[in-house]
């Protein structure tokens, strides 16, 4: 697909279907309906240049072939001020992100140069008191869990809902040392 050079590309981590459905349901319950354009997602990069889409997809395909499905630890509920998110942890995901930051350094916005703090936002753009109440509710019922990161999803940002451009599954061999295979 060809995009205008000005259309940003967004990169997210693809979640296993059960986790995706669960967190999408939470978004539907708690996100303001007039602002809930998206299903549950874990954003890796917020603003990559649309003019580099072919290179982005090619580099992701090469990297995804070295990365196995990622076991993500659901570690807690994060208060965002005007919303709530679930925090995730996986050392390999952080390493994958740093690798892409190095490859794409010249393209990155200040936000995308920051270390990754992976999370799934289930509420945003609400009054702080509303967010605080949901944070307390979800914190009280929180139990650590494991979900899967299964690949990359590439999106075009066009002012509201995102347009999916590609899904690139992780197909790398499992390894036991936590490093990206082949790197």
The whole-number mean pLDDT for each consecutive block of 10 residues of the chain, a chain of 183 residues, reads: 71 98 97 90 97 97 98 98 98 98 98 98 97 98 97 92 95 64 33
Stated pTM of the model: 0.91
Model pLDDT, residue 180: 37
Model pLDDT, residue 34: 86
Model pLDDT, residue 36: 87
Model pLDDT, residue 161: 85
Closest Cα partner for 171 from 156, 157, 182? 182
Model pLDDT, residue 177: 46
Closest Cα partner for 44 from 154, 142, 129? 154
Closest Cα partner for 89 from 131, 42, 49? 42
**How many Å apart are CA 10 and CA 153, to the nearest integer?**
8
* Residue ranges covered by each domain of the chain: 9-74+91-120+147-169
């Amino acid at each position: 697909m060809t995009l205008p050079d000005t259309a940003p590309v967004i990169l997210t981590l693809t979640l296993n279907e059960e986790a995706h459905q669960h967190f999408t349901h939470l978004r539907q319950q708690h996100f303001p309906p007039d602002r809930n354009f998206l299903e549950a997602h874990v954003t890796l990069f917020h603003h990559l240049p649309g003019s580099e889409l072919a290179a982005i997809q090619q580099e992701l395909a090469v990297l995804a072939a070295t990365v196995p499905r990622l076991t993500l630890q659901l570690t807690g509920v994060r208060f965002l001020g005007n919303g709530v998110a679930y925090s995730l942890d996986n050392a390999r995901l952080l390493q994958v992100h740093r690798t892409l930051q190095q490859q794409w350094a010249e393209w990155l916005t200040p936000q995308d140069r920051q270390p990754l703090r992976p999370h799934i936002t289930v509420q945003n753009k609400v009054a702080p008191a509303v967010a605080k109440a949901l944070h307390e509710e979800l914190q009280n019922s929180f139990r650590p869990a494991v979900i899967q990161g299964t690949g990359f999803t590439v999106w075009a940002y066009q002012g509201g809902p995102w347009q999916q451009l590609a899904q690139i599954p992780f197909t790398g061999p499992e390894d036991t040392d936590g490093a990206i295979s082949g790197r």
